[in-house]
A = this chain, B = another copy of it.
Amino acid sequence: MNLKDYQQARLPVIENRLQADLSALIPAGNQELHLMLAYHMGWVGVTGAPKASGKRLRPLLVLMVNEACSGNWQAALPAASAVSLLHNFSLIHDDIEDNSELRRGRPTVWRIWGLPLALNAGDLMFSFPYASLLNLPQSGHTNDTVLAALAILQDTIQQLVHGQHLDMRFETRQDVALDDYWQMIEGKTAALIACCCQLGALLAGEGAARQVQWAQFGRSLGLAFQVVDDWLGIWGDPAVTGKDTFSDLLSRKKTIPILYGIAQNQQFAQHWHKGFAQDNLPQLAHLLEQEGAQSYTFAQADDLTKQALALLDDLVQPGHPMHALLTELAATLTRRSA
Contacts and interface: CB of A to CB of B under 8 A. Distances in A.
Interface of A: 25-27, 30, 32-33, 93, 96-98, 115-117, 119-121, 123-124, 126-127, 130-131, 134, 137, 143-144, 146-147, 150-151, 154, 157-159, 161-162, 164-166, 168-169, 187
Nearest to A123: B161
21 contacts: A27-B158, A27-B159, A30-B162, A30-B165, A30-B166, A32-B165, A33-B165, A96-B116, A97-B119, A120-B161, A121-B161, A121-B165, A123-B126, A123-B161, A124-B158, A134-B147, A137-B147, A143-B144, A143-B147, A147-B147, A150-B150
Nearest to A133: B150
Stoichiometry, as copies per complex, reads 2
Contacts of A96: 115-116, 119
A262 to B, nearest CB: 22
A131 B143 contact: no
A162 B27 CA distance: 6
A137 B143 CA distance: 12
Contact of A169 (B32, B115, B146, B161): B32
A117 B166 CA distance: 10
A21 B25 CA distance: 28
A166 B168 CA distance: 31
A83 to B, nearest CB: 15
A149 B166 CA distance: 33
B165 A150 contact: no
A27 B161 CA distance: 8
A137 B147 CA distance: 10
Contacts of A32: 165, 169
Given A120-B168, A124-B161, A127-B161, 4 more contacts: A30-B166, A33-B161, A96-B115, A117-B169
A117 B165 contact: yes
A126 B126 contact: yes
A157 B127 contact: yes
A30 B167 CA distance: 12
A108 to B, nearest CB: 14
Nearest to A96: B119
A97 to B, nearest CB: 4
Contacts of A147: 134, 137, 143, 146-147
A151 to B, nearest CB: 6
A147 B149 CA distance: 12
A216 to B, nearest CB: 18
Q: Which of A123, A144, A158 has the most CB of B within 10 A?
A: A123
A127 B158 contact: yes
A33 B169 CA distance: 11
